[in-house]
Amino acid sequence: MRNIKFRSYYIYLYILLFKLYLSYGKDFYITSNSTYFDSNSDVNIDTLINNESQNEAINLYFMDDLYDFSIKFNNDINIYNDINIIGMSNNGTIFDFKNTRKGSMLINYSSKSGYKILFKNIIFQNFNSNGDEKVSLFQMTSTPVEQKIYFEDCIFQNNNCILIKMQRHNGCDINLEEEKFSTISLDNCYFYNNRELLFYIIMKEVTALALESLCQRVIINNSRFEYNDNIIRLQSGNLFINNSTFNNNYSKKNEATAQFIDSYGYKNKVIVKDSQISNIKLVDDLPLIFIKKSYMKIYNCRINNIVGSYYHMIRIKIAPTIELEKNYIYQIRIFII
């Protein structure tokens, strides 16, 4: 009788531990018809991610080829630890927003620093803000520093919105090490046929803090941009572009005042190297690059076939230093500077 009681106790303990493992385990495998993808389920993506008591990284593996992200108005992601969202389809897992403004990613970081969220092998397509500039596919409110969002092997296609917006509400230490900056990082990503502005890095409402807010950055490596509208507006922070191609893009009047790079923050740093910028059509009297109060260096790049109605390819206003070094520039039908 005593052995039976002990055996029952161990079976109960095993079941309890197994349930705890399922509830708080590190890896979760999500199919398009699973309860994890059902917002009405007690345990779903929201409850897995927004779990302040979770002590380890959360890995969400999306197993199917396609997921309908228009079934929920938005996705509130509160970052309490590292989160990895990984598509398992060989050709990329599709997050389809069905030409609606539903399903946007609202990312908020906890007061602690150093956490990251990674999207890998995901195709983001058909998100439409319907002309509302306040709606973005990704919107990050970064109050603490050293918060990071990574995109690896991702595709953004056929979207009509600001794709990625980072907003700061406060200043930061002017001596902060750059490795601790809040970071948007893209590696081996492809942007195709996206309307409006792709990246928008701003100080929300309190523009006076821009002098003290050089603690965010955008890093673009090994990526391609084709048939898109304006690329980036950088109010405060740094931009690094390496080994990337920008081809057949065109300008459009929106938040940005340049097609490729619009940097107007005090002491911003813009560095573009080993990249190609070609077949760009500038309309609406916008230049390719507008630099104001910022440092810029373009190194070892190929720039060709830039045409448009504006007077200059690069517009400079109160810029401390502009460096153009070892570039191959040809077939330019407007003044360079």
Query: What is the mean pLDDT of the segment spanning 306-322?
Result: 81
Give residue 165's pLDDT band: very low, low, confident or very high (50, 70, 90).
very high
DSSP string, 159-205: -BSEEEEEEE-S---TT--GGGSEEEEEES-EEES-BS-SEEEEE-S
Q: What is the pLDDT of residues 149-160, one digit of tens each?
A: 999 999 999 999
SS3 state at 277: strand
Between CA 2 and CA 7 the distance in angstroms is 9
Give residue 23's pLDDT band: very low, low, confident or very high (50, 70, 90).
very low
Between CA 267 and CA 309 the distance in angstroms is 29
Q: What is the pLDDT of residues 167-211, one digit of tens each?
A: 877 677 778 888 888 899 999 999 999 998 999 987 655 555 555
Query: What pLDDT sits at residue 24?
Result: 42
Query: What is the mean pLDDT of the segment spanning 298-320?
Result: 85
Does residue 18 carry a pLDDT above 50?
no
Domain count, the chain: 1
β-partners of residue 302 are 276, 328
Which range has the top average pLDDT, 24-28, 29-33, 96-100?
96-100
Query: What is the mean pLDDT of the segment spanning 34-51?
Result: 68
User: Tokens 């601790």 identify what position?
Assistant: 180
Query: What pLDDT sits at residue 157?
Result: 98
Domain that holds residue 295: 1-336
Name the nearest CA neighbour of 142 among 188, 95, 107.
107
Query: What is the mean pLDDT of the segment spanning 42-51?
Result: 70
Q: What is the pLDDT of residues 77-109, one digit of tens each?
A: 888 888 999 999 999 999 999 999 998 998 887
Burial class (CB in 10 A: 0-12, 13-18, 19+), 105: buried
Query: What pLDDT sits at residue 310?
Result: 67
CATH number reported for the structural domain that contains residue 288 in this entry? 2.160.20
Higher local confidence (pLDDT), 1 or 145: 145
Question: How many residues appear in the chain?
Answer: 337
pTM of the model: 0.87
Higher local confidence (pLDDT), 224 or 267: 224
Share of the chain above pLDDT 70, in %: 80
Query: What pLDDT sits at residue 54?
Result: 65
Does residue 308 carry a pLDDT above 90?
no
Query: What pLDDT sits at residue 131?
Result: 83
Query: What pLDDT sits at residue 39?
Result: 64
User: Tokens 């941009």 identify what position?
Assistant: 225
Does residue 212 carry a pLDDT above 70?
no
What token pair was written down for 215?
Answer: 């603690």
Which range has the top average pLDDT, 13-17, 223-227, 293-297?
223-227
Pairing of β 190-192 and β 199-203: unpaired
Give residue 71's pLDDT band: very low, low, confident or very high (50, 70, 90).
confident
Query: What is the mean pLDDT of the segment spanning 46-63?
Result: 78
- Lowest mean pLDDT of 50-59, 123-132, 144-153, name the range: 50-59
